[in-house]
């Protein structure tokens, strides 16, 4: 029987608020089995860019990572990474902070220019699953920030949802993997105003919700990543509020679960 692994992606408000982050990390620390924490930090990077007089450039909600921006996101993501690691150490979680460049964890290719030049943005090509296994065997918990590398000396800003999905897929042959996306909503919603959670979504249901306009905008790439992960061998994908992380391994989990059927 495979060992279990929970890959948790966190972003948004919880990273910005010290008290929220502390509470979330206590719940992460209590998760059973092997685990990985993946984090972004784009909102903080945008604040820093504005303070430095280099306003972020966005197209359709996506950051254009030019030469100035990659330096700033590297600084912000790396600093945040070490902050999270230090907080986990205080909770007796032996964690190790990583970018995709560390130990050649995640190799990417710079996104090719089509209609938009996103700059130094990476599309993941390979995950070093053997490195992850060695870290788990050593009793370490990887904390991975949203930076990868091209194996030519260039760091690349990479979507944290995608990183979480690729890490989960990369070790699905070795572990029983649960991928958890934590954000500010209680799950995927059928009624946003009343916060009505869709408890389970299959691929067929996903297509139906999209055609009916129930699932739209930024939730679509998140769910595309999630179903790609399931099709690649990840056991479950869960989407929930970050306050519910302590329930993802229990029967009273209140969020959304994605499954093949």
Which residues carry a binding-site annotation for substrate?
41-42, 63, 157
With b for 16 or more beta-carbon neighbours within 10 A and e for fewer, the 180-202 pattern comes to bbbbebbbbbeeeeeeebbeebe
What letter would DSSP give residue 12? T
- Beta strand pairing status for 175-183 and 34-39? unpaired
As given in the structure block, the two tokens for residue 251 are 């029967």
In the chain, what is the straight-line distance between the N-terminal and C-terminal CA atoms, in Å?
Answer: 23
Residues making up the annotated binding site are 41-42, 63, 157
Asked if 238 and 179 count as a contact pair (C-beta separation under 8 A), the reply is: yes
As given in the structure block, the two tokens for residue 24 are 């979330």
What residues have CB less than 8 Å from 44, skipping those under 6 apart? Answer: 15, 16, 76, 80
C-alpha distances (whole Å) from 123 to each of 52, 102, 118, 159, 160 are: 28, 17, 11, 8, 11
Cα 209 to chain centroid distance, Å, stands at 23
- Of the candidates 184, 178, 193, 191, which has an alpha carbon nearest to the alpha carbon of residue 235? 178
Q: In what helix (H) or strand (E) does residue 71 lie, and over which residues does it extend? A: helix 67-90
């Amino acid at each position: 029987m495979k060992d279990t692994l929970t890959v948790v992606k966190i972003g948004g408000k919880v990273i910005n608020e010290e008290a929220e982050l502390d509470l979330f990390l206590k719940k992460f620390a209590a998760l059973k089995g092997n685990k990985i924490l993946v984090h972004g930090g784009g909102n903080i990077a945008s604040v820093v860019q504005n303070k430095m007089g280099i306003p972020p450039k966005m197209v359709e909600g996506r950051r254009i990572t030019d030469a100035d921006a990659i330096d700033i996101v590297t600084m912000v993501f790396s600093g945040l990474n070490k902050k999270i690691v230090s907080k986990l150490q205080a909770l007796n979680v032996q964690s190790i902070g990583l970018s995709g460049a560390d130990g050649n964890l995640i190799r990417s290719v710079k996104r090719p220019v089509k209609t938009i030049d996103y700059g130094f943005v990476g599309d993941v090509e390979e995950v070093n699953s053997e490195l992850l296994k060695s870290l788990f065997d050593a009793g370490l918990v990887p904390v991975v920030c949203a930076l990868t590398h091209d194996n030519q000396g260039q760091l690349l800003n990479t979507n944290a949802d995608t990183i979480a999905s690729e890490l989960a897929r990369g070790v699905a042959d070795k572990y029983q993997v649960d991928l958890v996306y934590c954000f500010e909503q209680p799950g995927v919603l059928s009624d946003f105003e009343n916060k009505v959670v869709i408890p389970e979504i299959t691929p067929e249901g996903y297509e139906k919700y999209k055609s009916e306009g129930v699932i739209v905008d930024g939730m679509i790439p998140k769910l595309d990543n999630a179903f790609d992960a399931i099709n690649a061998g990840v056991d479950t994908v869960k989407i929930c509020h970050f306050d519910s992380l302590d329930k993802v391994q229990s029967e009273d989990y209140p969020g959304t679960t994605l499954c093949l059927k």
